Structure 1
Amino acid sequence: MFRLFLALHFLFFNLYACKGGYDTCKQKAKDANIFQKNALVLPLKNKRCLLYSRHIPNIKILKYDPFLSLYFVKEKKHFAYPYDINMRLQLGTAIINTKEAKEGKFLQSQIGLNRFAKYNQTLASPALISSSCCSVEGIVSSKGVIQKEYIKHFLHTKKARYGDIGIRVYNKKGAVTVKASDPFMKENPFKINDCIIEYDRKKVSDAASLMQKILFSSVGSRHQVKIKRASKELTFMLTCKQRYGGGFLSDTFLEQKGIYFDERLHVSALNKKSQTYGLKLGDKLIQVNGVSVKSQDQLRRYIKNFKEHASLLFERNNFQFFVNIK
């Protein structure tokens, strides 16, 4: 009898929410206590939670995505009205916390792991982008909105791993254009300013949808890419590799060599692949191939200018030294 009551109550709750009252979604967020110490905790089914946090949570972690700072965790208690990731058509969305709900719209879709989505209303991060039925449309992070497609992908894959074919793209005058090409990826055929026309024989319409297809591809899968370079059209068959940087990780192409940076180009993390370079945490990158750099974007832009190796100038305690990377 009690279960029937809960089921009917849940049905009523959702039917009421779908009528457009975002106040109901605010109340649901409050009842679920989803905002906790600068983290967003969304209860799911079977005592599981989706957690967005910039710090490692003190709870049993089932899965972790370092690119998006998402955790799939096990809770001790059951929540009567779990959240779902909305993949249905909705007429409206709103940005929500426990105090406010501002109805709005997406201004820009998420372009892979390099540019999160933009929403036309703002609330302090973390916040929730919700449908009128109180289901998840996106998570508002400190860098922008993590859209539902990426959240769903994280929840439905065994391990947070993304595909890479060695390019970073953007929309330029109606074309999807290569902004950066990975110089360390073997047999990478792409050049800056190449226009991507087709991916797996389907027309490419925008950078967001292309990067989503690439990222969600399995590592080792084969793909056909058609490009336009100047006045020529070229077609390549490529093997999808593993992505190492982007999102809340640095994305300079040096991550595959085990070297990660903060926003000011100090070395923030090193793994086993970097041991031969003699680097330490806190070392500051000053130059790349003889050019001064002050941002990750500049580093990614100039690191391609080498023949036999990339020459990196670092500084440690007022001592400068070179590191050569092939």
Structure 2
Amino acid sequence: MLFRLFILLSLLLLNLYACKDGYFSCVAKTKDSKTIQNDSLSIPIKGDKRLVYSKKIPNAKILKHDPFLNLYIIKDKKHFKYPFDINMRLQLGSAAVTNKTFKEGKVLKEQVGLNTLGTYSAKIKTPALITSSCCALEGILTPDGFIDKYYLNRFINAKSADYGDIGIRVQDAGKCIKVIASNPYLKNNPLKRGDCILAFDGKKVYSSAGLMRKILFSKVGSKHTIKIKRDGKVHTFNVVANKRTGGGEISDTFLEFRGIFFNKKLHIVGLNQYFKDYGMKLGDRLVQVNGVRVKNQDELREYIENFKDFSSLLFERNNFQFFVNIK
């Protein structure tokens, strides 16, 4: 207990005295590095590279791309002498920082996977940086929410930008980490909606945010165990991490796993060759699933999941309607 208190006091002193100018220096650094560029962030990092957040493709040499979170690594032609670091240590304070001002705040809700970005207390013009008083990155603040440092650090350092997926989406439900959706197209998927997740790879899980990081950051093809509680009984299953195909800026209806991608109005924006050969086209709008009208991606995912063995999809194109059956 005393040792823990000593560590906390040491961290407090470090934050108070190590960076004498505090967040004012972070504002100056953000301005000097030209990190904020209109609606985008271009953050200098080690190795003469920049971490970019942008909904538009950067006009630069792209080294890596995360389409789910709109992140890029690009080559920095103009070397910035003092790049930003990701702070992976315990941090006692943070602020939202732009090239003009800062506002101290805290994370109100953690980022849960790719679909639910975090919430930060300080209100400030976005995009912005979230930094410590020593200007180390704690995350970035976008118009859609807070992308935390774990995702930034993983994206920068991992060889691949691919995410792992075991076919479930979860949320905190009291003391239970509850499965709220299960991929019906994932072969031999043992997990069901309503399952309560107890442990992952033999370690107890405490939050949906932490569990989703473990799953997403797992290597595609890696094997894992997951312990769940279902109808009062405990089960342990073996699962394999597949490549994540939907979430974040990409639609996440589970049909992406089969090769169909949608916009928010359920118009097709992406198709694999199989469905192109089937006669489907970009722009076709999904109207019904198994006779039930769907209005958004959440409804689509729910109805798709309810019909695990067979799905009849009704599409519309120029007032012409046609069915596509998926098994």
Structures share fold, TM-score greater than 0.5: yes
Q: Who is 1:244 aligned against?
A: 245
RMSD, aligned CA: 1.6
Q: Who is 2:186 aligned against?
A: 185
1:123 Cα deviation after fit: 2.1
Q: Who is 2:128 aligned against?
A: 127
| Deviation string, structure 1 residues 263-291 (Cα, Å, up to 9, x no partner) | 11111222335324322222111111221
- Whole-Å separation in 1 of the counterparts to 2:143 and 2:273: 29
Do the aligned partners of 1:96 and 1:128 also contact (CA within 8 Å) in 2? yes
Residue type of the partner of 1:178?
V
3-state SS of 1:304 partner: helix
Whether 1:146 and 2:147 are equivalent positions in the alignment is yes
- Whole-Å separation in 2 of the counterparts to 1:147 and 1:269: 28
Do the aligned partners of 1:17 and 1:25 also contact (CA within 8 Å) in 2? no
Q: Who is 1:275 aligned against?
A: 276
3-state SS of 2:30 partner: helix
Q: Who is 2:265 aligned against?
A: 264
3-state SS of 2:265 partner: coil
Whether 1:196 and 2:197 are equivalent positions in the alignment is yes
Do the aligned partners of 1:17 and 1:134 also contact (CA within 8 Å) in 2? no
Q: Who is 1:89 aligned against?
A: 90
Residue type of the partner of 2:129?
L
TM-score by length of 1: 0.92
Matches within 5 A, 1:50-199: 50-199=51-200
Count of residues paired in the alignment: 313
Runs (4+) off by over 4 Å: 14-17
Matches within 5 A, 1:293-308: 293-306=294-307, 308=309
1:258 Cα deviation after fit: 1.5
Do the aligned partners of 2:185 and 2:308 also contact (CA within 8 Å) in 1? no
Do the aligned partners of 2:48 and 2:79 also contact (CA within 8 Å) in 1? yes
TM-score by length of 2: 0.92
Matches within 5 A, 1:27-66: 27-66=28-67
- Whole-Å separation in 1 of the counterparts to 2:20 and 2:63: 35
Q: Who is 2:292 aligned against?
A: 291
1:33 Cα deviation after fit: 0.7
| Deviation string, structure 1 residues 285-318 (Cα, Å, up to 9, x no partner) | 1111221111111111110122542111111111
Q: Who is 1:211 aligned against?
A: 212
- Whole-Å separation in 2 of the counterparts to 1:273 and 1:296: 22
| Deviation string, structure 1 residues 99-156 (Cα, Å, up to 9, x no partner) | 2211000011111111011111122321111111111111112321111100111111
- Whole-Å separation in 2 of the counterparts to 1:43 and 1:140: 16
- Whole-Å separation in 2 of the counterparts to 1:136 and 1:17: 16
| Structure 1 residue ranges without an equivalent (≥5) | 1-13
Do the aligned partners of 1:289 and 1:305 also contact (CA within 8 Å) in 2? no
3-state SS of 1:224 partner: strand
3-state SS of 1:287 partner: strand
Distance 1:105 1:251, change over 3 A: same
Do the aligned partners of 1:223 and 1:239 also contact (CA within 8 Å) in 2? yes
| Deviation string, structure 1 residues 208-249 (Cα, Å, up to 9, x no partner) | 000000001111111111100011111101111111011111
Distance 1:273 1:30, change over 3 A: farther
Q: Who is 2:236 aligned against?
A: 235
Residue type of the partner of 1:237?
N
3-state SS of 1:27 partner: helix
Distance 1:95 1:17, change over 3 A: farther
- Whole-Å separation in 2 of the counterparts to 1:33 and 1:183: 46
- Whole-Å separation in 1 of the counterparts to 2:103 and 2:213: 28
1:46 Cα deviation after fit: 2.6
Residue type of the partner of 1:57?
P
Identity %: 56
